[in-house]
Amino acid sequence: MTLLTIVWDVPKGIEIGSYEIRFYSLMFAIAYILGYQIMKKIFLDEHIKQEHLDSLFMYSMISMIIGARLGHVFFYDWDYYSQHPSEILKIWHGGLASHGAAIAMILTFIYFSKKIIKQPPLWLLDRMSLTVALAGVFIRLGNLMNSEIIGKATDLPWAFVFKNAYIADPMTPRHPSQIYESFGYLVTFAVLYFLFWKTDKKKFLGYIFGVFLVMLWSVRFLVEFVKENQEAFEEGMALNMGQLLSIPLILIGIYLIYSSKNRVYNYGKKVK
């Protein structure tokens, strides 16, 4: 037994009359508002039309939800959904995967940058990296409020007992993996924010996006070691699905950082 066990028994939302505002939704809204304000400042500083901003965040939201759902379907539970295709649309039954969201959002940003704001895709990916890292902070805090994506059993003094988790042994002290991951994403955001506003790295296309890929998915890779597997088929695997999917993204990030010196932009004009 741990010396200090934190019993996590908070409600999943706030009841207002007959309605309930879920903390997960609230965290999502906070991430959206803060991300919007960050991109608004960037668009103003770099003279991008403000009317594009609303469209960008609408595209981001739609692609994130669709990508997260399809990521879960294809990466984690294809055996089931291939036999029950009508269940794919029932997002309210649960089942979202961040890797799927990442792939869909990257493709969306590439399309948006080429067709709408007429900037190189890496220009937009560099800048949206700040908002996505910040969103990860609040999404994992939302998972904490839902007592989901919990950690493995531990006797560390800061272990949490997730009384409301849908598991067989909710009274077992566990790693607060949501907090680990949220903190890691906060550090990632802080580094990206510093690089963008306090250095000249934003002139090197792909550098900031590369740092984002390396840091964010390294955090995910490491936290997976103390996190309960999401699906039964992951039991016995040396690396689970989340880690296997993170590796190529980390490698892409390393390549983008290394090669960014060959892609210099200055105020929207290529100078080298």
Contact, 226 vs 151, CB < 8 A?
yes
What pLDDT, in 10s, does the model give residues 121-131? 999 999 999 99
pLDDT at 17 over 90: no
Q: So what's the pLDDT on residue 237?
A: 86
Whole-number average pLDDT of the chain = 90
Q: So what's the pLDDT on residue 207?
A: 98
Instruction: Let me know if 58 is exposed, middle or buried by CB neighbors in 10 A (0-12, 13-18, 19+).
Output: exposed
Give percent of the chain with pLDDT exceeding 90.
60
Query: Stretch 103-123: mean pLDDT, rounded?
Result: 92
Residue 144 confidence class, pLDDT cut points 50, 70, 90: very high
What pLDDT, in 10s, does the model give residues 29-81? 999 999 999 999 999 998 888 888 988 988 898 998 898 899 888 888 888 88
pLDDT at 224 over 60: yes
Q: So what's the pLDDT on residue 2?
A: 46
Q: So what's the pLDDT on residue 92?
A: 67
CA angle 265, 60, 38 (to 5 degrees): 55
pLDDT at 272 over 50: no
Contact, 204 vs 258, CB < 8 A?
no
Q: So what's the pLDDT on residue 221?
A: 97
The pTM for the full model equals 0.89
Q: So what's the pLDDT on residue 206?
A: 97
Whole-angstrom Cα distance, residue 93 to residue 87?
A: 8
pLDDT at 217 over 50: yes
Whole-angstrom Cα distance, residue 207 to residue 192?
A: 10
Whole-angstrom Cα distance, residue 12 to residue 144?
A: 9
Query: Stretch 188-205: mean pLDDT, rounded?
Result: 96
Lookup: tokens for 78: 């294809």
Residue 270 confidence class, pLDDT cut points 50, 70, 90: very low
If you ran DSSP here, which 8-state letter would residue 19 be given? E
What residues are paired with 265 via a beta bridge? 270
Please report the DSSP string for 211-257 in residue order: HHHHHHHHHHHHHGGGB--SSGGGTT-SS-HHHHHHHHHHHHHHHHH
Residue 1 confidence class, pLDDT cut points 50, 70, 90: very low
